[in-house]
Amino acid sequence: MIRSEFKNVLVVVAHPDDAELGAGGSIARWVEDGAVVRTVVCTNGDKGTKDGLSPLALAQIREKEQLAASKALGVRETLFLRHRDGELEDERAFRHQIAFLIRHFKPDTVVTHDPWRPHYQHPDHQAVGHAAFKGVIYARDDNFLPELGCAGIRAHHTNTLLYTNALAPDFFVDIEAVFRKKIRAIGCHKSQIRTLRVTERRVRQRSEETGRAAGLRLAEGFTIARMR
Ligand SMILES: [Zn+2]
């Protein structure tokens, strides 16, 4: 039997705009279906180039853009861990941060980057994917992080993990009805977009390609792991 999933969703991503690009349509769908969705952005995004801006100024702009994008999708809360962009490592303290958030928010589903994509991917995506997976494991057993248990923050079992940008997705979400919403949310990341129309064309093309594998017009694809 599949226990609850997609009702309380924690999206853990590396950069501002990753959630919208990888899962924006699915987030909109889940929210419309009554889910609570929260987004955790792990870096401050200060390497996402913008001519003439200091990294600090860029990071501040990108947080505002992320909040606007989250609002456009109906995300309940957005948390910024503010690690340095491009320098994330899958190390213990980072995993603990994620495990703490999982125990606190008690998601039935965690969405994160696929860390096993071969040959090419952003190193932050890899670090976040690995740390989020391990965070799920650390969160689900009271013998991990006993100091949290002492503080009354008890273990929480996450039922489902979804990995974005998977090479061979095996779980699809129909995003045709919410495609405009996804594009509006992506459009909030103004510092990252030169022409929204070009971005929209690219996103549409990708959604069509993904959809073809599932018999849908527009879809987002994930690799799904159900945790027994
Ligand atoms: Zn990214």
| Tokens found for residue 138 | 């650390």
Q: Residue 30 in 3-state DSSP?
A: helix
Task: Please report whether residue 53 resides in a domain.
Answer: yes
| pLDDT, position 129 | 98
**Å from CA of 143 to ligand 1 middle:** 32
Task: Please report whether residue 147 resides in a domain.
Answer: yes
Assess contact for 37 and 75: CB atoms under 8 A.
yes
**Å from CA of 157 to ligand 1 middle:** 27
Q: Kindly report the CA angle at 167 between 77 and 202, in degrees rounded to 5?
A: 70
Task: Please report whether residue 111 resides in a domain.
Answer: yes
The one-digit pLDDT tens for each residue of the chain (228 residues) are 557 899 999 999 999 999 999 999 999 999 999 999 999 999 999 887 767 789 999 999 999 999 999 999 999 999 999 999 999 999 999 999 999 999 999 999 999 999 999 888 899 999 999 999 999 999 999 999 999 999 999 999 999 999 999 989 999 999 999 999 999 999 999 999 989 999 999 999 999 999 999 999 999 999 999 997
Buried b (16+ CB within 10 A) or exposed e, 73-105: bbbeebebbebebeebebeeebbbbbbbbbbeb
Task: Please report whether residue 2 resides in a domain.
Answer: no
| pLDDT, position 2 | 57
Assess contact for 122 and 173: CB atoms under 8 A.
no
**Å from CA of 45 to ligand 1 middle:** 8
Tell me the CATH number at 73.
3.40.50.10320
Assess contact for 84 and 46: CB atoms under 8 A.
yes
Distances (CA, A) of 71 to 6, 24, 150, 208: 18, 11, 35, 25
| pLDDT, position 50 | 62
Cα 66 versus chain centre, distance: 12
Task: Please report whether residue 26 resides in a domain.
Answer: yes
**Å from CA of 86 to ligand 1 middle:** 9
Q: How far apart are the first and last CA of the chain?
A: 10
Task: Please report whether residue 87 resides in a domain.
Answer: yes
**Domain tally for the chain?**
1
**DSSP-assigned states of every residue in 98-113:** HHHHHHHH--SEEEEE
Task: Please report whether residue 1 resides in a domain.
Answer: no
pLDDT digits (tens, 9 = 90+) for 94-104: 999 999 999 99
| pLDDT, position 119 | 83
Amino acid identity at 128: V
**Å from CA of 24 to ligand 1 middle:** 14
212 lies in which domain range?
8-226
- Listed in sequence order, the residues at least 6 apart from 25 whose beta carbon sits closer than 8 Å to its beta carbon are 173, 175, 178, 179, 181, 182, 207, 218, 219, 220
Q: How far apart are CA 48 and CA 60, in angstroms?
A: 12
**Å from CA of 7 to ligand 1 middle:** 25
| Cβ neighbours, 10 Å, residue 7 | 15
Pairing of strands 171-174, 219-226: antiparallel
**Å from CA of 9 to ligand 1 middle:** 19
Task: Please report whether residue 3 resides in a domain.
Answer: no
pLDDT digits (tens, 9 = 90+) for 118-159: 888 899 999 999 999 999 999 999 999 999 999 999 999 999
| pLDDT, position 112 | 98
